[in-house]
Amino acid sequence: MDIETAHTAVFGAGSWGTALAYSLAKAGHPVTLWARREDAAREIAATRRNAAYLPNAELPASLRVTSDLHEAASGASVWLFAVPSQSLRSVATQLADRATEPEAIVSVAKGIENGTLLTTSGVLREALPLAPEARVGVLYGPSHAEEVALGQPTSVVVSIPDLAIAEQVQALFMTPSLRVYTNTDLVGVEIAGSVKNVMALAAGMGDGMGLGDNAKAALVTRGLAEITSLGLAMGAAAHTFAGLAGLGDLVVTCFSKHSRNRGFGEMIGGGKSLEEAADAMTMVVEGMKTTASVRELASRYGIEMPITEAVARVIDGESAPYDEVCSLMTRDPKHEAAHLDGSAFA
Ligand SMILES: NC(=O)C1=CN([C@@H]2O[C@H](COP(=O)(O)OP(=O)(O)OC[C@H]3O[C@@H](n4cnc5c(N)ncnc54)[C@H](OP(=O)(O)O)[C@@H]3O)[C@@H](O)[C@H]2O)C=CC1
Ligand SMILES: O=C(CO)COP(=O)(O)O
């Protein structure tokens, strides 16, 4: 891939797809942004702004926008999927016939598909069977779109099985304000980046209930223990959970004012019903559906995930956030590193 001329198709014109398309275009790379609605594509193209999802970025004139999926894919060396994880399959399937064309296929959607329990690269491998598996991966890490659009320093990680391709994608996305690392532990990066949304819902509930910094620090730490134990059981490398997709993304999502997952949790913790909170959201809250998938994965791999269970019970309307805090605090005593020594949470 010639980094200077490589054309990227960004599928999904929400906040993250728009921010990444903006970053690439501003760096001088050819980019086409696909929006599923024709009116949205027309408005973005005409105003050079995505008023609904990322109003602060003025999109370069070079950035093409279309609602025609095949037009967006045409001639692209990199396919970047930026639609919600539960919609990824339906979008990718439409491109199945031409999946041999791109040199890299990258998901930035963070979630675990309901039913199949697949991570997003797994969904792409199934939806695009003609694509060589070594070219399919993810770009994850602590990266709120609003800050990327402002050029605030941000570091992310690209994970694609073929390291040479990962390094090309790394070079393509690198700018002075967007630093990209590589990591070949795809399952670890995806589990870390997806399960953190469950923890961010819990962090937000704590914020809504007025819990303090001690509680948030404990949640992040024990949340990371849960994520790590699930990831290790699924074959991930331990170092990933201390990296950008692990600790990095967990911290930013649990603390940031920009996080939709944390914000949604805050409304629930503050006493809003699930319906009221959903009505107040205009953007995707991935953790809501991913929680059910993570709960099933925990059961499949025999991993105890008490925070995930607590979030799932609140989402299912089986209990209230404060009751779950009390239950978590009064569980049986444990060794802090039980999840690392193979004895699991006996
Ligand atoms: N925002 C961020 O800072 C970051 C987001 N991510 C991840 O990126 C993914 C996308 O999130 P984000 O851009 O923030 O989401 P937004 O809620 O900002 O936008 C969602 C976008 O997806 C489109 N969309 C929704 N449903 C479908 C569908 N069924 N088919 C096709 N397109 C659809 C929406 O189109 P329409 O307007 O027509 O509904 C909209 O363009 C998520 O997995 C998220 O976790 C990752 C890192 C950072
Ligand atoms: O993944 C993200 C930041 O890295 C975005 O998180 P939210 O979806 O909670 O806003």
CATH, residue 233: 1.10.1040.10
Task: Looking at the structure, tell me whether residues 49 and 141 fall in a common domain.
Answer: yes
pLDDT at 122: 98
Q: Is the pLDDT of residue 321 over 90?
A: yes
Has residue 91 been placed in a domain?
Answer: yes
Task: Looking at the structure, tell me whether residues 293 and 272 fall in a common domain.
Answer: yes
Give, for ligand 2, the residue of 180, 259, 281 to mutate: max count of ligand atoms closer than 8 Å to Cβ.
259
Task: Looking at the structure, tell me whether residues 71 and 130 fall in a common domain.
Answer: yes
pLDDT at 341: 62
Has residue 334 been placed in a domain?
Answer: no
| Mean pLDDT computed over every residue of the chain | 96
Task: Looking at the structure, tell me whether residues 210 and 315 fall in a common domain.
Answer: yes
pLDDT band, residue 1 (cuts 50/70/90): confident
Query: Domain containing 117 — which CATH number?
Result: 3.40.50.720
pLDDT at 346: 38
Task: Looking at the structure, tell me whether residues 167 and 234 fall in a common domain.
Answer: no
Angstrom CA distances, 208 to 197, 262, 279, stand at: 16, 10, 17
Q: Is the pLDDT of residue 343 over 50?
A: no
From the alpha carbon of 200, which atom of ligand 2 is closest?
Answer: 9
Task: Looking at the structure, tell me whether residues 110 and 195 fall in a common domain.
Answer: no
Has residue 86 been placed in a domain?
Answer: yes
pLDDT at 339: 76
pLDDT band, residue 344 (cuts 50/70/90): very low
Q: Give residues (CB < 6 A) around ligand 1.
A: 12-17, 35-37, 40, 53, 82-85, 87, 90-91, 108-111, 143-145, 283-284, 286
pLDDT at 345: 40
> Does ligand 2 have an atom closer than 6 angstroms to the CB of 196?
no
Q: Which domain holds residue 264?
A: 187-329
The Cα 145–Cα 253 span in angstroms is 12
Task: Please tell me whether residue 194 adopts helix, strand or coil conformation.
Answer: helix
The Cα 272–Cα 333 span in angstroms is 33
Task: Looking at the structure, tell me whether residues 174 and 196 fall in a common domain.
Answer: no
pLDDT band, residue 230 (cuts 50/70/90): very high
Task: Looking at the structure, tell me whether residues 67 and 115 fall in a common domain.
Answer: yes
pLDDT at 244: 98
Mean pLDDT for the stretch of residues 37-45: 98
Task: Looking at the structure, tell me whether residues 168 and 25 fall in a common domain.
Answer: yes
Mean pLDDT for the stretch of residues 215-222: 98
pLDDT band, residue 340 (cuts 50/70/90): confident
Task: Please tell me whether residue 1 adopts helix, strand or coil conformation.
Answer: coil
Task: Looking at the structure, tell me whether residues 225 and 301 fall in a common domain.
Answer: yes
ipTM of this model? 0.99
Tell me the catalytic residues: 196
Has residue 178 been placed in a domain?
Answer: yes
Has residue 3 been placed in a domain?
Answer: no
Distance 4 CA to ligand 1 centre (A): 27
Q: Quick count: other Cβ atoms within 10 Å of Cβ 129?
A: 9
- pLDDT tens by residue, 250-259: 999 999 999 9
Task: Looking at the structure, tell me whether residues 14 and 151 fall in a common domain.
Answer: yes
For the record, the structure tokens of 253 come out as 């999502």
Task: Looking at the structure, tell me whether residues 34 and 177 fall in a common domain.
Answer: yes
Has residue 336 been placed in a domain?
Answer: no
The Cα 263–Cα 253 span in angstroms is 10
Q: What's the number of domains the chain is made of?
A: 2
Hey, what amino acid is at 199?
M
